[in-house]
DNA sequence: ACATAGCCTACCAAACGAGTAGGCTATTAA
DNA sequence: TTAATAGCCTACTCGTTTGGTAGGCTATGT
């Protein structure tokens, strides 16, 4: 399960990517996306620190994307809020950590199986951008070639 | 990240699936797999309650698989210990829950993207059995067709 | 009858998740 | 020039989950 925070962040970014005006305030965003206001503020701060969005202060201030929507992937956002995508520390490329109790990583069968899970998750998340998610709904389905109702 | 508990459970099951003798005690298992003994006991209890393993009490007692290793999937074990595999409650087939703050589930772009992640994770986890993981290391790689070093 | 080993419940400390609260500062319209 | 707006920043809270420990009870084989 991804955290509520990451979900909010993605929704906020999608809203920013879609807006017509040049910026939107935290308050409006919160109302429009049904995100607790103060919580959203913190999320926006993190997004800003990470260089994904920018802000303007004072009256008529607000937030807007810093980079084009087709350069921001779901994977980046998820890693920022929820940490590594890998299901095991020893499978993370960003934050590799040996499993403390593992005797032989190369021979670990659990690791071997989850490597596939990690790879396919990354294949989707690092390839799907905000722009993909906003565009024609089916375009995102085409990325992985899997139907939403499969399995 | 999967929980330590689920990881231990999988390792224990793999050990049970591989053993030559007819049963193995919690103590031996704990030592062999480097799992805290008392913690392992609880895990084994859960596995038993769920019908995956059986036990014999008293001297020379121990645990053994209840069903053949090729009928126990990683998905079953993971769901037992960590709950739904789905990254969003609204994508779980086992424990569906609407996202409280979602306006229109059908139109949710976040959901749409993560549906692919969920599907590919399930494709691996519900198809890979203990037997697969034990057999020739490459057989498990063939299941998904992805190389371990891909992406 | 005693050692072995499973069964069961309770407890615990630390970390995490999902917020709330409150004040400070920059900007701009009146 | 002074409000009002809206972003910036830190701290705190509170319930839940994680990763165990602890301790005793009960069945079984020698």
Q: Where does a domain end: B32, B65, B98?
A: B65
Q: How far apart are the first and last CA of chain B?
A: 19
Domain span at residue B98?
Answer: 72-144
pLDDT above 50 (res A146):
no
Contact B7 A99 (CB under 8 A): yes
Phi, psi values for residue B146, rounded to 5°:
-100, 140
* CA pseudo-torsion sign B74, B134, B31, A115: negative
Contact A124 B116 (CB under 8 A): yes
- Strand A62-65 to A53-56 pairing: antiparallel
What pLDDT does residue B60 have?
Answer: 95
Q: Is residue B83 part of a domain?
A: yes
Please report residues of A whose CB lies closer than 8 A to that of B123: 120, 146, 150-151
Q: Which of A112, A120, A148 to mutate to test the interface with B (most CBs of B within 10 A)?
A: A120
Residue A20 is assigned to a structural domain of this protein? yes
Q: d(Cα B25, Cα B9) in Å, to the nearest integer?
A: 15
- Is there a contact between B120 and A146 if contact means CB atoms under 8 Å apart? yes
User: Which DSSP string corresponds to B100-119?
Assistant: TT-S-GGG-HHHHHHHHHHH
Nearest Cα to A128, choosing from A85, A93, A92, A88? A85
Mean of the per-residue pLDDT values of chain A: 92
Claim to verify: residue B59 and residue B92 sit in the same structural domain: no
Confidence of residue A148 (pLDDT cuts 50, 70, 90): very low
DSSP state of B129: B
CATH assignment at residue B59:
1.10.10.10
Q: Angle at the Cα of B10 (from B96 to A124), degrees rounded to 5? A: 50
Cβ-Cβ contacts under 8 Å between A and B: the total is 130
B14, B35, B65 — which closes off a domain? B65
Chain B nearest-CA residue for A134 = B109
pLDDT in tens, chain B (151 residues): 999 999 999 999 999 999 999 999 999 999 999 999 999 999 999 999 999 999 999 999 999 999 999 999 999 999 999 999 999 999 999 899 999 899 899 999 999 999 999 999 999 999 999 999 998 666 666 565 443 333 3
What does the alpha-carbon distance between residue A64 and residue A56 come to, in Å, rounded to a whole number? 9
Domain presence at residue B28:
yes
Co-location of A130 and A90 in the same domain: yes
Q: What is the DSSP letter of A50?
A: T
What is the per-residue pLDDT for B143?
61
In a domain, B110, yes or no: yes
Note whether residue B23 is domain-resident: yes
A142 vs B68 pLDDT, higher one: B68
Residue-level pLDDT at B150 = 35
pLDDT tier, A151 (very low <50, low <70, confident <90, very high otherwise)? very low
The verdict on a CB contact (< 8 Å) between B124 and A103 is: no
d(CA A14, CA A133): 8
Chain B residue closest in CA terms to A35? B101
The single residue listed with the structure tokens 């040049």 is A22
Same domain for B124 and B77? yes
Spanning CA of A32 to C1' of C24, the rounded length in angstroms is 27
- Among B26, B41, B65, identify where a domain stops: B65
| A149 within domain boundaries | no
Q: How crowded is residue B31: how many other Cβ atoms within 10 Å of its Cβ?
A: 12
């Amino acid at each position: 399960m991804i955290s509520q925070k990451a979900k909010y962040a993605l929704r906020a970014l999608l809203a920013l990517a879609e807006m017509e005006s040049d910026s939107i305030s935290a308050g409006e965003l919160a109302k429009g996306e049904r995100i607790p206001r103060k919580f959203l503020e913190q999320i926006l701060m993190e997004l800003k620190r990470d260089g994904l969005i920018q802000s303007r202060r004072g009256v008529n201030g607000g937030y807007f994307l810093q980079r084009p929507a087709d350069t921001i992937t779901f994977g980046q956002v998820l890693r920022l809020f929820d940490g590594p995508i890998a299901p095991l520390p020893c499978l993370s490329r960003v934050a590799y950590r040996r499993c403390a109790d593992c005797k032989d990583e190369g021979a670990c069968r659990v690791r071997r199986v989850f490597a596939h899970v990690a790879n396919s998750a990354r294949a989707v998340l690092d390839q799907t951008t905000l722009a993909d998610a906003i565009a024609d709904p089916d375009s995102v389905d085409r990325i992985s070639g899997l139907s939403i109702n499969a399995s």
